[in-house]
Amino acid sequence: MATVALFSHISKPQNYIRSLFTSVSAPLYRKPFKTPFQVRSVATPAETVAGFDEMVSGSQRKYYMLGGKGGVGKTSCAASLAVKFANHGHPTIVVSTDPAHSLSDSFAQDLTGGMLVPVEGVDSSLFALEISPEKAREEFRSHKSGGSGMKDMMDSMGLGMLADQLGELKLGELLDTPPPGLDEALAISKVMQFVESQEYSRFTRIVFDTAPTGHTLRLLSLPDFLDASLGKIMKLKKKLTSATSAIKSMLGKEETQDDASDKLEQLRERMAKVRDLFRNSDTTEFIIVTIPTVMAVSESSRLHASLRKESVYVQRLIVNQVIPPSASDCKFCAMKRKDQMRAFDTIRNNSELGSLRLIQAPLVDVEIRGVPALKFMGDMVWR
């Protein structure tokens, strides 16, 4: 580990603790600092190479998804990668699909509203987007249609039971009580709508700051769930509806459009696109972010196993918040680093994580917030 001291090396325990709570980043929703970003002490693992040259030079791989346990620094890693892509000439979008957004905090700029916002303080083209899963889901909610008297008419023909069955298939309500993972999937499909449009075709890198592990796992299983469950429901709906279509035609009744069925079919198609996006190793890479604790490493191992099962391409593992070796008599620092080294041993011996390219992101003595701080972090991590 090569230690780089830009101002002063940490020599006393109290200085180290105080430095953990020192922030020189930009205030929220103000323009980033114009003065150079300053860090007192940081440890840079000399052996860490993320392979950024490969990431920036390729013309085919466009999507990078960063995910992992909550609180490990996914947003900072995703934002710093987006800044570095932009600074290397790639028109870039960074997107948060996490219902608990922190991308605005990371850039120290208001990115809410569900629309692309240009990031301030970056020389090249960089846009950010915080998608509200609730708003994305609203697009698929169906409107309730009024009754047409068909129930009374079918009762008189002895088809009352069939009418009851049709009434019980309230497909629109499925959109009001969505299955787990739907919100995140809709957010990603919304981004794909942006990217597929001619207006945004110029963007060559899309970085996703995804929701924590549990959300990601539910997202991966969602398309299969929709195929298995909603597919059967919709087939039954069509069969029952066809039985009444002839009756309506004979009586001159106007055929009403089944809005809920159409929207659910559209939803299935979008979810299939999201699944294909995750599984396309030529265009997409999933990067796992963790911290050096045994608990976090264990969760990352399970995440990678699930991603591998779903044929999602994973090559890199970022271990964030690595504590540098201390030359002082800080017992707290020494014990924390000892625990972290134990976690690294777990990673190297883990059947799921041991084969991944290991990237160590050091713990710095300032809060990473604002474009200057993100550029600084990107230069350390994405090498």
Catalytic residue positions? 98
Query: Residue 288: left if φ>0, alpha if ψ -120 to 50, beta else—which one?
Result: beta
DSSP designation for 368 = -
* Cα 134 from chain centre: 15
**127 with 116: CB under 8 angstroms?**
yes
DSSP designation for 36 = P
193 to 110, 196, 318: CA distances (angstroms): 22, 5, 29
DSSP string, 110-160: ---SSS-EEPTT-SS-EEEEE--HHHHHHTTPPPPPPP-SHHHHHHHTT-H
Answer positive or negative: Cα dihedral of 234, 235, 239, 245.
positive
Sorted by sequence, the CB contacts under 8 Å of residue 105 that are 6+ apart come out as 28, 75, 369
Site of tokens 């700029």? 109
**Residue 211 tokens, joined:** 């929701």
- Comparing CA positions, the residue from 224, 210, 220, 208 lying closest to residue 284 is 208
DSSP string, 234-267: HHHHHHHHHHHHHHHHHTTPPPPP-HHHHHHHHH
The C-alpha R_g of the chain, in whole angstroms, comes to 26
**Residue 238 tokens, joined:** 């069509």
Query: Residue 361: left if φ>0, alpha if ψ -120 to 50, beta else—which one?
Result: beta
Q: d(Cα 40, Cα 126) in Å, to the nearest integer?
A: 28
65 forms beta bridges with: 208, 286
